[in-house]
Amino acid sequence: MFEIIRDIGAITRRIEVNTNAEFRRLGLANNAFIYVIRSYEKPGMFLGELADSVQIDRTTAFRTVRKLVDNGYLRLEDDASDKRLRRVYVAEKGAKVYPELHAFEQHSSDTLVSQLTDDEKAELKRLLGKLIY
Amino acid sequence: MFEIIRDIGAITRRIEVNTNAEFRRLGLANNAFIYVIRSYEKPGMFLGELADSVQIDRTTAFRTVRKLVDNGYLRLEDDASDKRLRRVYVAEKGAKVYPELHAFEQHSSDTLVSQLTDDEKAELKRLLGKLIY
DNA sequence: TCTAATTCATTGCATTTGCAATTACTTTCA
DNA sequence: TGAAAGTAATTGCAAATGCAATGAATTAGA
């Protein structure tokens, strides 16, 4: 059954290379696009929460977010009640590119599952949702 | 359906962190353990072939393999008929640790699918095999 | 309520990473 | 059969990465 983790590992790495190449022109390589997408969809996560949600090392995430803030894609806000937290939001530039980022993600996904029937797609999604990690 | 690539991305990154932590003591972090496993199971792949099979950048793979050769885990052989190729084999040290590496991979996999029935596991494996990347 | 344990952001630092060459064959095809 | 195109390995280099440590704020427990 170990083929499962080998398969998803290879698929993930391949998709990351593709997507990074696609968005390098926007300064969103090195998985930076991920943070824009997630911050757009769930605004206000704090830094560690965002990092954990995508399973990227917190220090790496921290530096990428800082760069995206410098580049105008994201924006940070101190939390009102907990002084440790810094919450992440998309800035205008981030909101503007979101549709393109998500469309590419959608396209990558469509290609990936293109040999599956609709039922199989739904089943795959369901099964992945039951995985423990 | 894009949830699929998000899920497998997060799972992959999490497993990599775990596995690298586990095998750092052997000098097999940074995904180095992958090369030992694969070279053991399919001896004689040439460098680029090995890299492509796991979807890791060829230059990164090249440097990791070189390090593993230096550390005594792997061994390289020039191809007899094509002078461009260098084929990869495990050395004694690599063969010795393979069982442990594979057992951990198995364990990671078992944990991952622990909430699935046997039928679901088989179905997941089948569906992943149909993905195009 | 005081202290210890926890959690967050952030930095230090050595190592790794990966894109873009370059060089050395090998294959293709006119 | 000879140039052009393709495919390997390898290197250069700037940037990213991630573990370990630090400091500040919060929470838990006695």
What is the per-residue pLDDT across B87-111, written as a single tens digit (0 to 9) for each? 999 999 999 999 999 999 999 999 9
In this prediction, residue B3 carries a pLDDT of 94
In angstroms, the first-to-last Cα distance of chain A is 16
Across A110-126, b (16+ Cβ under 10 Å) vs e yields eebbeebeeeebebbbe
What is the per-residue pLDDT across A30-80, written as a single tens digit (0 to 9) for each? 999 999 999 999 999 999 999 999 999 999 999 999 999 999 999 999 999
On strand D, nucleotides with any atom < 7 Å from a protein CB are 7-12, 15-21, 23-27
Confidence of residue B133 (pLDDT cuts 50, 70, 90): confident
B45-46, strands of its sheet edge to edge: B45-46, B86-90, B74-78
H/E run at residue A84: none
Statement: residue A26 has pLDDT above 90: yes
Cβ-7 Å neighbors of strand D: A 30-31, 56-57, 59-60, 63-64, 67, 81-84; B 17, 20-21, 24, 29, 46-49, 51, 58-59, 62-63, 66, 84-86
What is the per-residue pLDDT across B39-63, written as a single tens digit (0 to 9) for each? 999 999 999 999 999 999 999 999 9
Confidence of residue B65 (pLDDT cuts 50, 70, 90): very high
